[in-house]
Structure formats: structure tokens, C-alpha cells
Chains A and B, each alone.
Chain A
Amino acid sequence: MPRNLRARIALVLVVIAASAWYLYPPKKTINLGLDLQGGIHLMLGVEADKHVASQTDRAAEDLKAALERKGIAVKRIAREGNAAIQVELASPQSWNDSRTVVAEFNSFERRDEDQTAGRFRLVMVDARIRQLRDDAIRQGLETIRNRIDQFGVSEPTITRQGADQILIQLPGVQDPARAKALIGKTALLEFKLLDERTPVEQALAGQLPDTSELLYGREVDKQTKAERKVPYVVQKRTLLTGAELTRAEVQADPNSMGNWQVAIEFTSTGTRIFGEVTEQNVGKRLAIILDGTVYSAPRINERIPGGRAVITGQFTVDDARDLAIVLRAGALPAPVVILEERTVGPSLGADSIRQGLIAISGSALVVFVFMLVYYRLSGLVADIALGLNLLILFACMAGIRATLTLPGLAGIALTIGMAVDTNILIFERIREEMRIGKTPRAAIEAGFRRALRTIVDTHLTVMGTAVILLSFGTSSVKGFGVSLFIGLGASLFTAYFFTRLLFDLLYMGRRKVESISI
């Protein structure tokens, strides 16, 4: 009677039961990759420096206001690079007064002072820069997650990658272009007054006052569908932003059939500011700007107290709905760019599954039949071990929630080819031992023992390369590495341990063994 037979049988049964438990039901437990079920994979780069720059801009504005409140005239104050402000006072006499004002801006350091010229630079401290960059990415991630949740995607993956990248995976999205637009939009909503004193022609010629800028709006001709750019001269000062919004909802546009608009509602602070702005500027035009594009610039007829406004712009219902989503979820603190995109339509995914399955079943069939013909009963034992290997492989993938990709399927097909190597090694060794005259039992004993070291060596080398593959960032290569690694790990158990158990059960009983079917 071989050693520990009961314990070994129990172990195999436990493994089979656990595998079945993890795997059931397969449709739900096996995670298909985007290449198999269709969907979008996006790698976004967050331009975090732009967040630092905009915060520096804000600080420069605050500083200017603070100096002016103290009666200190400023000749020039401007951002330099992303994180520095160059200040030049109108007269050097106010130097000492300026110091007390600047001291309140504690995230900046004063450098390159030139008292006689009344000049100095403020440089943002590194800790603050790091914090702002980090904020930009974390808030960006949060905002994008919010938008995707509202858009309605089941089981999205949204994670931070490296220093300033965001990885987004949206399985099963039917309209990739729309999802991309929704995610990538900065969605910075701004209200600014038009500069009606500067004629547009003059602005187009490049003559603009310091306080104004040239922005464009888009107009689509109903008949020809041609897009036209409409220039606007807008005052640089932002009166109100989308940060003060509480609600954004889609409505039918009462003034133009078939178009939709987004109704917004401000917070109490926003309502107060909006009321003041409209009161002070009756008769002027207020531009509604989203990501630097003017959507409309209605004239203010009277003070608007209720804190409500509408954004119109020849929207379809989907456009309006997406705009409402991004406004509700808030603006990204810094713009994002798409660094990498992989979109697979659902029909292509279905094709890939079909081909992957054909490949797997094909290679499995070839190997199964070959082993059966060449090694007969022992070949059947190896085939059963191979079946168990596949069961464990899929169960492990379900257990660690790994995704099954097309290269992953290829990895499985290859694993099948390589997993039988172990059995071939053992069987060839047993045959050899029998050839030199050993009894069947002794040959089995020696075959398994002698082959073990080689088997461990071959597994470790290939599993080593599989680890290198799966530590690689890209999902296609990773998927291949994962299935190869698990498959080979499982093969150590099934092709050696499990096969040995079956051999023991077949040949190591009490009755005398004359020959082995090998």
C-alpha cells in the first residue's frame, strides 16, 4: 500500500471541489477582457502642471487685490512658468509695506529681491506644488468616476496609474465616441462679460486690451450642417464658475423645435453672486463659456434673483444629457489627454471568443488524441490530468478575478502543449527503466523520482519568464503571462502529483502487476 494514499485522494478531491465552487457559474465568475466582450480601454494623462499654473494665476490675482487694498500701486504682476509670480511695484517706497502683504501668501517664497527697482519674485514651495499636482489627479479621478457612474456603465475600472495617469476600462460600451467625449471633457463652465467696447475686427487683427481675450463660439447651419466659428471678445475676469452649481437638467428648448437645452441652478453663494452680477450689468451681454468655447451670450435684461439659467446651443438630446452629466459631476481640475486607446466593438469581441475557443479546443484535441494513441492507458491518465489542469486554471482565474483576454486564451492553448511535457518526461523515463529490466512498480517509482528534478527546472524557467510577462503593464501581454503562469503552476500539481496518485491507484495495489499500459 503506497504511503498517505487517503490523504492524497482527499487533497485532490478538495482541490476539485474548490475549483468547481470558484468556477460556478462560469458565465459570472470568468471575467472576459475588453478584447473579448467589447469595450473601451483608455489611458489618460492628467496635465497636472496646468492645475498648478491656474492656482498660481489665482494667487497672482489675489495678491494684486491685497496690495491694492493696502494702497500699494503695482506696475506689473504676472505668472512666470507654472509656479512663480513676477511682481514689480510702481514705486520702491512701498517695499516694506508690500512685505507684510506678501507674508500672508505662505505657500510662496520670496526670491530675487531687488529693492531699488521694487521687483521681486514669488516662487511656490515644492511641497505645495506636489500637493496641487496630487490634488489634480485625485480630483480628476473622482470626477471621472462620478461622470461614468451617471453615464451608466456596469463594472467600470477607473484607477490611478503611475504618477499622473488614469486608467479607465469600460466593458460593453456601445457608443465609444460618446463615452470618450464625456470622459475627456474638462467641463469648466465660466460666466464672463463680453467686452463690447472692443470691436471684433480689431480683436481679430490682434489688438486687444490686457483685460480681454478672443474666444469662439460654434454655429451649425441647419440646412448645410456646416460648422461656422463665431468670434467673441470677452473680458478675462471670471464672474462665476460651474463650481457653484447644484443642479443641471435637460429640457426641451422652447425657442427651437427639436433642440434641447440644459437648465442649471446655483448654490446659495452662486445665486447671490449671479444676482449681483446681473444687477450691476443690466443691458450688457453675459457669455456662457464651456472649456473655452462660447455657447451663448445673452443680453442681461434685468437682475436675475432666483439663481437659475439655461445653456442653449443647438444640442441633441444626447449632447444635452452628457453636458448635464459633466456639469453635475463638476469640472476636471486639469485637462486630460488620451495617451492610449483601445476600443473593441462587441461583434469583434464575439468573433475573437469564437476563434480563441476553436484554437483551444483544437490544440487540446490534438494533444489528447496523441497522448491516447501513443501512451494508451497512461495517455488517458495524462489526459485526465490535463482536464484537471484546465479546471484548476479557470478556477484560479475566477478566484483572483483575473481577466481572460485573447492572448490569455492563446496562453492556455500553449499551456496545454507544454503541460503534457511533464507527463511525457515521466512516461519516457518509466519506459527506459523498464527497458533496463526493472519491474513495473520499480520502474514507476524510479521514473517519477528521476524526472522530478528536471520537471521542477523546466517549470521554474518558463514560470520565470511568465512572471516577467505578467509584470508588464500592457493588458494583452499581461493576460498571456497570467494564464501561462497559472497553467504551469497547476501542471506541477496535476501532471506530477495527480498522475502519480492515479498510477498508484492503478498499479500499486495488492495484486501483482505484470505490465504497464504505457
Chain B
Amino acid sequence: MIELFKNPNYDFIGKRRWAYIISIAFTLISLLTLAVRGGLRYDLDFTGGTLIQVRFEQVPTVAKIRASLGKIQLGESIIQEFGDNHEYIIRLPLIEAVGSEEISRRVQGALGSDPSLGKFEIRRVEFVGPQVGRELQLQAVYLVLAGLVWIAIYLAFRFDLRGGVAAVVAVCHDVIVCLGALSITNREFSLPVLAALLTIIGYSVNDTIVAYDRLRENRGKTAPRGRTFAQQMNDAVNQTLSRTILTSLTTFFSAAVLLFFGGKTLEDFAFVLFVGVITGTYSTTYVAAALVVDWTNKVEGRLRRGKKAVAKA
């Protein structure tokens, strides 16, 4: 029998002060990066505009593509290599009064007018009008909020308010760190990234539930005498440790396969999952469980002090 841990008994909860510093540091770095970069870089889905993916038969240069597009006056275009050096993505800003048919017709004409670019194939056209872009921005915010509210309600209902709030704080931590990682690596916030974030919201809470469930089961079985709440929480985390690590590993590998073999289109999506699995696993213990411990200590401490005060009087 292969075992990762044999009756593990690490002091996770005891080191929570250090973990708070780390968590706060990561959150601050993420927020700072976002602030310095002026917020997230939004993908076409949210800003509106046109994206055209072109595959050339011969290897072109960006300068040549740019020169041929310069003639059609469709605003400042962004030209990026995509996948290999035969394939390029051209992004055009939203222009009033020029419809999507017109744009792709003009781009096709412009690229065709330079014979040195050779043969090419337009493989993808995406056009998002201003109205749709605004709608999607709003919906994205609603989606993430709906996800958080769902988690909070479910946990508050199944466990208690403290657990629900702590889990939501942990999830917010994960979301912020993922967004920070996105910003540091200069990736765009797109619809697939949004989907990945929501998955992480669900995923991150999973670990938390497993630990809480265990804590409650232990407390229900035999009232653990002589063990503080912090120790009980630490026991629960240790008992579920091998499951947590194993599940994280399999999910982590799935995300890694997507990241390295899923192609350019899935790359950002997989990247968020990749980061999210790591921070999700970490935050279960060091954000969610740790917060519940400190919160409970505080409440119980106040109760005890209250009782003493009553006794004295």
C-alpha cells in the first residue's frame, strides 16, 4: 500500500499567524499589480471590437501586416503571433458606424493587396458590438457574485455562519490571487477565464467542506475532552490531509495537461485553473480553517469573560 502520509500530525493551525502574513502579502501583491496595471486587461468579449485570426502560407512579418492594414483606417490594430509563426491575430477597436461585415471585408482586401504576404486563410472572426460588451461585463460581475452567494448560503445552511463567511473569505482570496496572477503574466480576462474562476470558486470550497465535515463528525462522536478548538480543527485538517493532497494532485495534473497540451485557445483558462488549484488547497487550511479558529476563540473568550464577570458580581 502506497501512502503519502501515515497518521499525519502536522501543526497547521498553530502556524496560522505566519500564514496570515503570507495570505495578506499575496493578496496585496495581487491588488497592487492590478492597481499599477490599471485594472484587468479585458478581452474583446468585454470591450467590444473585432478579432480576426489569419493563417498565412508563408511566414509574414508583423510590420508587413501592419503596413497593409494601415491603408484601411480601422483604428489602432494590435497584431499578435498566435500558436506558431504562420498564424496571427489581428485585433481592431470598436468603430462607430462600421459594421462587422464591412470590417472583415476590408481586412481581407487589405491583406490581399500586398502580394508579398502570399496566400492566407481567415480562420476566425469575432465581432462584439458595444451593447453586447457592456452586457457581458455586467453579467460577469453578477456571475461571480452569484457564485459567492451560492457558496455562502449553502455553507451557512449546512454548517454555521462562521464557516460560511470564512469559506467565502477564502474563496475571495483565491479569486484575487488568480486575478493577480493573470495580471502579472499579462494575460487577458476573457469568458473562458471567467468560467475557470467560477470553477475555482466551487473547487476551493470543496476542500473546506471536507475539513468542516470531519470536524463536525469528530465533535459529534465523542466530545473531545481537553482539546482546544484549534487542536480539533488541526486534527480534522490532518485526517483529511492525504485526500486533500491526492485530489489536488489529480485536478492539478488535469489542469496542467490542459495548460500544456490544450492549445492556445485554452491556455488562459487552464492557467487560472492551475493557479486556482494551488491557492484553493492552501486557502482551505490557512484562510478558511484558521479564520474559523480565531473567530471561535474570540467568541468563546468573550463568553467566558462574560461569565466570569457575572460570577464576580
Asked if A181 is at the interface (CB within 8 A of a chain B CB), the reply is: yes
Take A362-B261, A413-B258, A477-B192 as given contacts and tell me if A464 and B125 are in contact as well, using a CB distance cutoff of 8 Å: no
Question: For residue A340, which residues in chain B have a CB less than 8 angstroms away from its CB?
Answer: 127-129, 132
Interface centre among A347, A367, A458 (most CB of B within 10 A): A458
Instruction: Give a binary string over A406-423; 1 marks a CB under 8 Å from any B CB, 0 the rest.
Output: 110010011011101100
Question: For residue B263, which residues in chain A have a CB less than 8 angstroms away from its CB?
Answer: 351-352, 355-356, 359
Contact check, A339 vs B131: say whether CB atoms are below 8 A apart: yes
Contact check, A358 vs B243: say whether CB atoms are below 8 A apart: no
Interface centre among B126, B158, B199, B269 (most CB of A within 10 A): B199
Take A340-B132, A461-B202, A468-B147 as given contacts and tell me if A363 and B253 are in contact as well, using a CB distance cutoff of 8 Å: yes
Asked if A197 is at the interface (CB within 8 A of a chain B CB), the reply is: no
Given the complex of chains A and B, what is the CA–CA distance between A358 and B260 in angstroms? 10
Asked if A177 is at the interface (CB within 8 A of a chain B CB), the reply is: yes
Contact check, A180 vs B101: say whether CB atoms are below 8 A apart: yes
Contact of B191 among A347, A358, A477 (CB under 8 A): A477
Task: For residue A355, give the distance in angstroms from its CB to the closest CB of chain B.
Answer: 4
Contact check, B198 vs A342: say whether CB atoms are below 8 A apart: no
Question: For residue B213, which residues in chain A have a CB less than 8 angstroms away from its CB?
Answer: 453-454, 457
Chain B: CB-nearest residue to A43: B132
Task: For residue B185, give the distance in angstroms from its CB to the closest CB of chain A.
Answer: 19
Question: For residue A413, which residues in chain B have a CB less than 8 angstroms away from its CB?
Answer: 254, 257-258, 262
Contact of A366 among B101, B198, B254 (CB under 8 A): B254
Contact check, A359 vs B257: say whether CB atoms are below 8 A apart: yes
Given the complex of chains A and B, what is the CA–CA distance between A108 and B249 in angstroms? 70
Given the complex of chains A and B, what is the CA–CA distance between A420 and B201 in angstroms? 19
Contact check, A181 vs B101: say whether CB atoms are below 8 A apart: yes
Contact check, A417 vs B255: say whether CB atoms are below 8 A apart: yes
Chain B: CB-nearest residue to A45: B131
Question: For residue A343, which residues in chain B have a CB less than 8 angstroms away from its CB?
Answer: 104, 124-126
Asked if A450 is at the interface (CB within 8 A of a chain B CB), the reply is: yes
Contact check, A414 vs B198: say whether CB atoms are below 8 A apart: no
Instruction: Give a binary string over A455-483; 1 marks a CB under 8 Å from any B CB, 0 the rest.
Output: 00110111011101100111011001100
Question: For residue B242, which residues in chain A have a CB less than 8 angstroms away from its CB?
Answer: 428
Question: For residue A414, which residues in chain B have a CB less than 8 angstroms away from its CB?
Answer: 199, 251, 254-255, 258, 273
Given the complex of chains A and B, what is the CA–CA distance between A457 and B213 in angstroms? 9
Contact check, A458 vs B206: say whether CB atoms are below 8 A apart: yes
Given the complex of chains A and B, what is the CA–CA distance between A45 and B7 in angstroms? 63
By size class, the interface of chain A is: 35 or more
Contact check, A454 vs B210: say whether CB atoms are below 8 A apart: yes
Question: For residue A484, which residues in chain B have a CB less than 8 angstroms away from its CB?
Answer: 199
Instruction: Give a binary string over B237-260; 1 marks a CB under 8 Å from any A CB, 0 the rest.
Output: 001101100110111111101100
Given the complex of chains A and B, what is the CA–CA distance between A472 and B213 in angstroms? 31
Question: For residue B32, which residues in chain A have a CB less than 8 angstroms away from its CB?
Answer: none
Given the complex of chains A and B, what is the CA–CA distance between A457 and B211 in angstroms? 12
Question: For residue A421, which residues in chain B have a CB less than 8 angstroms away from its CB?
Answer: 206, 247, 250-251
Contact check, A466 vs B202: say whether CB atoms are below 8 A apart: yes
Contact of A407 among B100, B195, B209, B217 (CB under 8 A): B195
Asked if A432 is at the interface (CB within 8 A of a chain B CB), the reply is: yes
Chain B: CB-nearest residue to A339: B129
Contact of B239 among A406, A432, A453 (CB under 8 A): A432
Contact of B201 among A180, A363, A465, A481 (CB under 8 A): A465
Task: For residue A453, give the distance in angstroms from its CB to the closest CB of chain B.
Answer: 6
Question: For residue B129, which residues in chain A have a CB less than 8 angstroms away from its CB?
Answer: 45, 337-340
Interface residues in A342-356 (C-beta closer than 8 Å to B):
342-345, 347-348, 351-352, 355-356
Contact of B266 among A339, A355, A518 (CB under 8 A): A355
Asked if A184 is at the interface (CB within 8 A of a chain B CB), the reply is: yes
Instruction: Give a binary string over B97-120; 1 marks a CB under 8 Å from any A CB, 0 the rest.
Output: 001110011001000000000000
Contact check, B124 vs A462: say whether CB atoms are below 8 A apart: no
Question: For residue B139, which residues in chain A have a CB less than 8 angstroms away from its CB?
Answer: 472-473
Contact of A518 among B1, B199, B269 (CB under 8 A): B1
A residues adjacent to B (C-beta < 8 A): 43, 45, 176-177, 180-181, 184, 337-345, 347-348, 351-352, 355-356, 358-359, 362-363, 366-367, 370, 373-374, 406-407, 410, 413-414, 416-418, 420-421, 424-425, 428, 431-432, 435, 450, 453-454, 457-458, 460-462, 464-466, 468-469, 472-474, 476-477, 480-481, 484, 518
**30 residue pairs A–B, Cβ–Cβ below 8 Å:** A45-B131, A176-B104, A340-B128, A343-B124, A352-B265, A355-B261, A355-B262, A356-B263, A358-B262, A359-B262, A363-B254, A363-B257, A366-B250, A370-B249, A370-B253, A374-B2, A374-B246, A407-B195, A417-B250, A417-B253, A420-B250, A421-B250, A424-B250, A431-B1, A454-B214, A461-B209, A465-B147, A465-B150, A476-B191, A481-B195
Q: A414-B199, A465-B151 are in contact. List 9 more A-B contacts (CB 8 A).
A: A339-B129, A343-B126, A344-B124, A352-B263, A355-B265, A407-B266, A432-B239, A454-B210, A465-B198
